[in-house]
Structure formats: C-alpha cells, structure tokens
Amino acid sequence: MRKGNRPGDLQDRNLGVLLNIIRRSDNITRQDLVEQSGLSPAGVSNLVSNLIAKELVIEGDLVTRSKGRRGIGMKLNEESIFAIGVRLARSYVRVGVFNINGGLMLSSLEPVGGLTVRETMEVIKTQISYVMETSGIELWRFAGIGISAPGPLLAREGKIALVSNSPGWRSISVSNIIEDEFGIPTYIEHDANVSALAEYWFGKAGEASNLVYVVVEQGVGAGILKNGVIFTGSQNVAGEIGHTTIEHDGPQCECGNRGCLEMYCSSLALTEKAQALVSGANLDGWPKASEITVDTVFALANEGDRSAIQLLEKSGYYMGVGVANVINAFNPDMIVLGDQMAQAPKIWLEAVRQTVKDRTIPELFEKTAIELSELEIDAGFLGTGTLVISKAFEKPSQIRNNTEEQHSL
C-alpha cells in the first residue's frame, strides 16, 4: 500500500530541492531559484524565509544575473550545522568535524591495527568526544554522526557483515552503540557508498547524478548513485563488484565464488604479482620481494621500468573488464576510480579506458566518462560528513528554527 504524503513531507521535499540548488551555486538569487526549481515565486519566497530563519542560508550582496537582472545573492551558511564523520578503516580510525560545505574543521587519526572490536569502539567514542569538545561547536548544531566502514553492511541493523579477519564486527550494531552514547542521529554506510556521495557533491561529477565510484584498494567495491541517491539493493550490499566473476574457473575467493574481479585488479593483487615476479627473476632496480608495495611499482613505472609498466597495464586491463561490466549493467553517466590505485601512473587509467573501449559498444563508451578521483580529502572520509548533511537536507524541518527559539526565550 502506498503511504500518503503528509504536508510536512512536501515542504521538506521543496526545502531540500532549494538547498541542493543553493549548494551548487555561487550567490544564487530568488529569481534563479524560481527558474531552476520550477516552484512559484511566492513558494520560493516562503521557503527561503524558512531557510534563513533556520540560519541554513544567508543573504549576501546584490548581484547581477543573466539578462541584467539584479537580486540578493544567497549561499549556505557555513556556521549553521555541522557533521561528525568517522572513517573506520582496516588499520585506523579517522574522526573529524565537517561544515555544511564539506569543509573539514578539525580531525584526529588513531591506528587500530591489532585492536579488538571492543577496543576499536572505545577509540571511536573517545575520538568523537575529543573533536566535539575541541571544536567548541554547540551540541544542537551537530546534525548527525556519519560512519563509513570497509565491509558490506547490513545497514538496517547497523552491522558490518564482512571485514576480512575481523568476524567480531558481525555481532554488534555500531550505529546504535554510537547513537546511544551521544544522542545524535547516527548513520553507517559502506565506504564505497559515501565515496560516491562525496564525489557527486564535491568532486568532478557535476550534473552526473548516475555515478559509480569504484574503490580500488586491497579489495574492490563500488558505490552506485541513482539520481544522486545511494542505490542500496535489498540488503544494502549492492555494488560488491569485487566479487563478480571475470574468470569462471579461476581461483577460489574467500567469498565462496571463483575468479572474482578483485583477485586480479586490487592493489593487493598487484603487490602479490610484483613479489612473485621478483622472486622468480633477478630484476635490476627492484627491492627484494618482501619490501615491495604498490608504491614501489608506481615509482618504478614512473621511471620507465618495463616490468612495472607491464604489471600496471595488466592490472588496468582487468579493471577495465570490471568497468565494462559495470557500464553494461548500470549505464552510468560517469565512473570514478578512487583510493589506492587512483594514485597509479597514467598508463593504468589508459589501460582501463582502452579495455572498456574494446569491450563496449562505441556509443556507450563515448558517453561514459571514466575518471580518477581528485578530491583533496579522502572520499571515504569526506563522504561521512556528506552523508550526514544529505540526510539533514532530506528533513530540513527538523533543524532547529533559531528565530523562533530566540523569540520564545
């Protein structure tokens, strides 16, 4: 049965539409908002008053827009609401405070390699308390806490389904524990999903609202945005492209499948192939196998080392096979490749693009941008703040109305 819309839902939707236009524009006027939103001038005027009362939007100078028309420019108020972001990675926890424009106010990083799940949760709590206190921001201004985690998430329960070698995460609900501790709405998402969100809000995506962000590090996963919103699938496990088969009879993967994509194109696969190469031959300029990392391969390729270049071309080829599958399955506007392998020399991206070109129909290849992420802040971290702000923009009516508060005092 279809749920009826309450009047508040409609207002929230319209407020959200305006907030999203304002955040993408520099000093936008009410007239421009009317044109871009399709809402009536009276409606926009009303809604803007509401956003100003909540301090979410501030007015600036008189600006001249297209056709010589002048109006008061508006923008998001960076002092209004804030997000606490937590990136829970395999070896560290990074916590920070973001403003409404994704600006990082302060952050703190702690290694957690070798710690138990319980100890790691204590580190997260201590860091959140630390950044909240150090920021000096009033408590009510925190719109939420966003957490990104490396494994697939059973989001409804806030549980992390799979982090290699850390089965303990399955048994606890991370988001509930943090929400109970701090009394602030808490959201948890796969790091690939929040990365996609960060790229769409703050990266090179522009209007590309059907976006796939591929995280290529020790594992491979993807965050999929459909019209700018995270596509979760039934159990929030959509986007696990690292476990799609590219060789039906390939080696066994820990997920139970065979020949999974990430066994061929992850940073771990590259390191292992480089180590195997060095063990089997005496290569000039290469360190011994145990000292090789992806950075070693990148550096040697940059110096023109033929073996390193071939390893990267092969890795890019496999990534390209995976990307071609993603394009055929989802037909996105843009695919952004991020994390460790996005630091590789350009030949890697060229190999990815060439493979996609060879394996998709020409119209599809030409219309699908394949780019590297160039965000200044790590997308899996920036995205935690973006997640919180995007949730706040879905329900702006729940943000405290400051004018009313002051009048009622």
Binding residues for Zn ion (CB under 5 A):
243, 253, 255, 257, 260
Number of H helices, E strands in the chain: 14, 14
The distance of Cα 175 from the centroid of its chain, to the nearest Å, equals: 18
Q: Between 168 and 259, whose beta carbon lies closer to Zn ion?
A: 259
8 Å CB contact between 140 and 400? yes
Please name which of 241, 281, 276, 247 lies closest in space to residue 262, comparing C-alpha atoms: 241
Where do the H-state alpha helices sit in 102-157?
117-135
Residues 6 or more apart whose CB falls under 8 angstroms from that of 214 comprise: 192, 220, 221, 222, 241, 319, 322, 323, 326, 335, 336, 337, 338
**Separation CA 262–CA 321 (nearest Å):** 11
- The 10 Å Cβ neighbour count of residue 197 is 29
* Minimum gap (Å) between residue 253 Cβ and Zn ion: 3
CA distances from 198 to 22, 212, 241, 318, 383 (A): 17, 12, 20, 26, 4
Q: Between 255 and 329, whose beta carbon lies closer to Zn ion?
A: 255
Per-residue tokens: 358? 């060879």
Per-residue tokens: 366? 């030409």
* Minimum gap (Å) between residue 221 Cβ and Zn ion: 11
For residue 3, what is the DSSP state?
P
Q: Between 87 and 243, whose beta carbon lies closer to Zn ion?
A: 243
Per-residue tokens: 81? 């609401």
**What radius of gyration do the chain's Cα atoms show?**
23
Q: Between 278 and 326, whose beta carbon lies closer to Zn ion?
A: 326
* Minimum gap (Å) between residue 326 Cβ and Zn ion: 16
Q: Between 181 and 247, whose beta carbon lies closer to Zn ion?
A: 247
* Minimum gap (Å) between residue 160 Cβ and Zn ion: 17
Sort residue 144 into left (φ over 0), alpha (ψ -120 to 50) or beta: left
Q: Between 144 and 242, whose beta carbon lies closer to Zn ion?
A: 242
* Minimum gap (Å) between residue 256 Cβ and Zn ion: 7
* Minimum gap (Å) between residue 306 Cβ and Zn ion: 31
CA–CA–CA angle 47, 52, 57 (5° rounding): 100
* Minimum gap (Å) between residue 328 Cβ and Zn ion: 20
Where do the H-state alpha helices sit in 281-408?
294-302, 306-330, 346-359, 362-367, 379-394, 402-408
Q: Between 90 and 258, whose beta carbon lies closer to Zn ion?
A: 258
For residue 95, what is the DSSP state?
E
CA–CA–CA angle 380, 324, 381 (5° rounding): 0
* Minimum gap (Å) between residue 317 Cβ and Zn ion: 19
Q: Between 173 and 257, whose beta carbon lies closer to Zn ion?
A: 257
Q: Between 106 and 255, whose beta carbon lies closer to Zn ion?
A: 255
Q: Between 109 and 255, whose beta carbon lies closer to Zn ion?
A: 255
* Minimum gap (Å) between residue 259 Cβ and Zn ion: 9
**Separation CA 13–CA 5 (nearest Å):** 11
* Minimum gap (Å) between residue 223 Cβ and Zn ion: 18
* Minimum gap (Å) between residue 254 Cβ and Zn ion: 7
Q: Between 219 and 396, whose beta carbon lies closer to Zn ion?
A: 219
**Separation CA 164–CA 167 (nearest Å):** 7
Phi, psi of 148 (to 5 degrees): -115, 140
